[in-house]
Amino acid sequence: MTDQEIYQSWIDHMTNNSGMQFTGNEHMMRMITSWVSPEEAAFTTGFPLFPPKTIEEIAEIKQMEIPELKEKIEALARKGMIYESIGGDSVRYRMWSFGEIFMRVPEWAGRDDEPFRTMVRHGNKWYPTMRMRGKAEVHAGLRSIPINETVESPSQLLPFEDIIQVVDKYEFHSVSYCCCRMRYNLDPDYPDTPFPLETCLHFNELGRYIVKNGLGREITKEETLEILKKAADAGLIHGLQNAEAAPETICNCDIEYCTFLRPYHQLGFDKSMDQSNYAVQVTPETCKACGLCVKRCPMDAIQMKFSAESTNKFRKAVVVDTDLCIGCGVCVHKCPAESIILKRKETITRPPKTDMERMRINYMAMQAGKQKADSDHQSSTD
């Protein structure tokens, strides 16, 4: 097989087994070839994606002896291509998804070398054409979670939206570099981010995998809370993995480079993060019309308008578009007049139970959208 054929088989394996569809182009190929060697591509073609398998099962698939297989798997786990999960008392392995191999996992380590920079630069050029997530998406991978003290009664926060309660449940904590900001910081075509970088928090099984493979470092629960506080002060948005049962990731996202907010603002995607169950309430009488919340809002959901109730010299106060607002509390956190607060909405929405359920819901919506488009097309040609 030529290298080109090896890479093509690898791409087919990674896409056919993940349900992903995207457009390949020159930048995608340069991204792949600068980071994944032909040997690595040949070895991982046929390697399980979902569900993960034991080393014995993989030895059967790959027709390899276990010691040699284990050595290769461990090297690729350190590179961020293979995930090792511990379910019950058995260890299982699977490939990270195509997007995660280039845009998420290796960046966690904070690497900076030439092959990595080349991969990142081409990935950044390819990404806008990829459109992995689109119009049919019901649930984003992250759900906005409010900054605790921006909620009117933090003691009444729903358990799955109280960041302190969520963090408290984890036994193992780790921090890694923010993969989104790292990607653009390493690319000379983009300005460096002013935001903190070591802010990606992972817990329990995922956290252990990360620390074991040098993709992040272990921290204490107190350090996790300190990172969350600094992130909120810097204007970052807390995004919790959108799975109620066992979220293992808390992101701290910025509007410019985040994988969830950037496609929404710059590539015309419908969704950024799922909304929390909290909405902003404004007290126009005390608003100073300073505009700070307008600048801090990551969703452009706040406008300054004339208000008959305002008492400031401009006769203005802020108005929030509840459809756009994701209930993050970033605006509330620094308001100098305490004129805005997050209040719980009347109707509560819960996150999907698991990642699998979220993907299933999105898949069903995508299929329904496709069928409708086909039938509309059929009717218009009848």
Q: Among 14, 95, 301, 341, which residue interacts with ligand SF4 (rule: CB under 6 A)?
A: 301
Quick one: 32 or 179, whose CB is closer to ligand SF4?
179
- Give yes or no for residue 53 binding ligand SF4 (CB under 6 A): no
Quick one: 6 or 178, whose CB is closer to ligand SF4?
178
Smallest gap, in angstroms, from Cβ of residue 273 to ligand SF4?
9
- Give yes or no for residue 105 binding ligand SF4 (CB under 6 A): no
**Contacts (Cβ under 8 Å, ≥6 apart) of 247:** 166, 240, 241, 351
Token pair of 246 as six digits: 């066992």
Q: 305 has which bridge partners?
A: 317
Q: Among 158, 292, 359, 365, which residue interacts with ligand SF4 (rule: CB under 6 A)?
A: 292
- Give yes or no for residue 277 binding ligand SF4 (CB under 6 A): no
> Looking only at residues 201 through 240 of this chain, which bind ligand SF4 when binding is defined by CB under 6 A?
239
Q: Among 81, 331, 341, 366, which residue interacts with ligand SF4 (rule: CB under 6 A)?
A: 331
- Give yes or no for residue 335 binding ligand SF4 (CB under 6 A): yes
Smallest gap, in angstroms, from Cβ of residue 78 to ligand SF4?
20
Q: Is the dihedral of CA 351, 353, 355, 357 positive or negative?
A: negative
Residue 235 — φ and ψ, nearest 5°?
95, 15
Query: Residues 250-269 vs ligand SF4: string with x where CB under 6 A?
Result: -xxxx---xxx---------
Least Cα distance to 147 among 253, 26, 229 occurs for 229
Quick one: which segment of 10-18, 41-49, 122-130, 323-331 binds ligand SF4 (CB under 6 A)? 323-331
> In Å, how far from its chain's centre is CA 106?
14
- Give yes or no for residue 340 binding ligand SF4 (CB under 6 A): yes
Q: What is the largest CA-CA distance in the chain?
A: 78
Angstrom CA distances, 135 to 19, 24, 140, 303, 380, stand at 16, 20, 11, 26, 22
Cis peptide before 51 (omega within 30 of 0): yes
- Give yes or no for residue 287 binding ligand SF4 (CB under 6 A): yes
- Give yes or no for residue 69 binding ligand SF4 (CB under 6 A): no
Contact (CB, 8 A) for 172 and 207: yes
Quick one: which segment of 2-10, 14-22, 294-302, 361-369 binds ligand SF4 (CB under 6 A)? 294-302
- Give yes or no for residue 299 binding ligand SF4 (CB under 6 A): yes
Quick one: 10 or 177, whose CB is closer to ligand SF4?
177
**Contacts (Cβ under 8 Å, ≥6 apart) of 246:** 204, 354
- Give yes or no for residue 167 binding ligand SF4 (CB under 6 A): no
Least Cα distance to 224 among 243, 244, 205, 252 occurs for 252
Quick one: 106 or 327, whose CB is closer to ligand SF4?
327
Quick one: 55 or 290, whose CB is closer to ligand SF4?
290
Q: In sequence order, what DSSP letters do the residues of 163-185 get, joined into one string?
A: HHHHHHT-S-EEEE--HHHHHHH
Q: In sequence order, what DSSP letters do the residues of 239-307 get, joined into one string?
A: EEES-SS---EEEEE-TTT-TTHHHHHHS--S-SSB--SEEEEE-TTT-----HHHHH-TT--EEEEE-
Nearest-angstrom CA–CA distance, 29 and 95 = 19
- Give yes or no for residue 280 binding ligand SF4 (CB under 6 A): yes
Quick one: which segment of 69-77, 163-171, 211-219, 336-344 binds ligand SF4 (CB under 6 A)? 336-344
Site residues (vs ligand SF4, CB under 6 A): 178-181, 199-200, 239, 251-254, 258-260, 280, 287-293, 296-299, 301-302, 318, 320, 325-331, 335-337, 339-340
